[in-house]
């Protein structure tokens, strides 16, 4: 490759929604590319030589971004949209060649959060709930991106959790699939709870909410025809938290053991 071609740059660009999904700007630096995420837009820049040397790099980056967003979704419960990447080749003389993949729309939701900052008598910040949330989002996103591509169990649980955010009429059906996936993968409840450290009480409580209570969003609605009621927000929040904790526990299991599933 001649020196002019070696200076050619490739720019990959995505859009995502909601625009506040990440809440703050994120910059990712790697040896062969740099990613910038902010306010509904993502860009990845790299030398054309690096892009041309790996035929799957565009898909690899797209999958990594999607997995990162799935990790954040565990905390935000926001359905999200990530576009296909637009590819632009920027020649040394400034000429641009743009390639675009078209894609349909995806349902998005947004929500509000109330943050608290606690300071001591001297004005020093001793607790910042927004910063805590951003750090947890970052950590979860990193773990999901790290393990998701080669872990069918993790991908199945994330898909069920994501579907629960977009299908509220059957939310508890999808949430329960997280527990089912763990149990199936580890050969039963006892093995699953022991491996990832889920308490018996949480395991049973999720079953009660999803299976036993006469809830419109639950799994066994046919058993209680005529007496069904909508789940309270407290019941839904509890089921969401237990299922999310199960996924987080599995991520910790992968991180601590390095076990391949």
The burial class, CB within 10 Å (0-12 / 13-18 / 19+), for 232 is exposed
Q: Tell me, yes or no, whether 105 lies in a domain.
A: no
- Are 171 and 88 within one domain? no
Q: Tell me, yes or no, whether 112 lies in a domain.
A: no
Average pLDDT (238-244) is: 94
Which of 20, 57, 5, 53 is CA-nearest to residue 35? 57
Last residue of some domain: 58, 79, 99? 99
Which of 193, 201, 204, 208 is CA-nearest to residue 246? 193
- Are 156 and 227 within one domain? yes
Number of domains in the chain: 2
Last residue of some domain: 99, 127, 142? 99
- Are 77 and 156 within one domain? no
- Are 71 and 159 within one domain? no
Q: Tell me, yes or no, whether 104 lies in a domain.
A: no
Q: Tell me, yes or no, whether 145 lies in a domain.
A: no
The least confident of 24-33, 171-180, 245-254 is 24-33
pLDDT at 65: 93
% of the chain surpassing 70 pLDDT: 82
Q: Tell me, yes or no, whether 131 lies in a domain.
A: no
- Are 155 and 253 within one domain? yes
Average pLDDT (197-218) is: 92
Question: pLDDT band at 228, cuts 50/70/90?
Answer: confident
Last residue of some domain: 57, 82, 99? 99
pLDDT at 258: 61
- Are 250 and 159 within one domain? yes
pLDDT at 190: 95
Q: Tell me, yes or no, whether 137 lies in a domain.
A: no
Q: Tell me, yes or no, whether 20 lies in a domain.
A: yes
pLDDT at 97: 80
Question: pLDDT band at 1, cuts 50/70/90?
Answer: very low
Mean pLDDT, the chain, rounded, equals 83
Q: Tell me, yes or no, whether 114 lies in a domain.
A: no
Residue 192: domain span: 151-257
Question: What are the φ and ψ backbone dihedral angles of 198, each rounded to 5 degrees?
Answer: -90, 130
pLDDT at 17: 92
pLDDT tens digit string along 138-180? 888 889 989 988 899 999 999 999 999 989 999 999 999 999 9
């Amino acid at each position: 490759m001649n020196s002019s071609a070696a200076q050619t740059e490739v720019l990959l660009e995505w859009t995502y929604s909601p625009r506040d999904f990440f809440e703050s700007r994120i910059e990712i630096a790697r040896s062969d590319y740099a990613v910038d995420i902010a306010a509904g837009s993502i860009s990845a820049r790299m030398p054309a030589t690096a892009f041309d040397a790996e035929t799957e790099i565009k898909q690899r980056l797209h999958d990594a971004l999607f997995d990162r967003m799935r990790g954040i979704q565990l905390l935000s419960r926001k359905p999200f949209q990530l576009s296909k990447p637009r590819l632009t080749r920027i020649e040394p003389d400034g000429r641009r060649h743009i390639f675009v993949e078209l894609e349909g729309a995806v349902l998005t939701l947004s929500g509000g959060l109330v943050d608290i900052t606690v300071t001591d008598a001297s004005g020093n910040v001793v607790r910042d709930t927004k910063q805590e949330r951003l750090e947890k989002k970052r950590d979860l996103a990193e773990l999901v991106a790290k393990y998701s591509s080669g872990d069918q169990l993790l991908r199945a649980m994330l898909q069920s959790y994501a579907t629960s955010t977009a299908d509220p009429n059957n939310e508890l059906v999808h949430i329960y699939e997280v527990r089912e996936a763990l149990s199936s993968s580890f050969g039963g409840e006892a093995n699953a709870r022991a491996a990832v450290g889920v308490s018996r009480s949480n395991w049973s409580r999720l079953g009660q909410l999803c299976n036993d209570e006469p809830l419109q969003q639950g799994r066994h609605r046919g058993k209680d025809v005529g007496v069904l009621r909508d789940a309270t927000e407290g019941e839904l929040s509890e089921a969401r938290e237990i299922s999310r904790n199960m996924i987080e526990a599995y991520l910790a299991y992968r991180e601590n053991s390095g076990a391949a599933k």
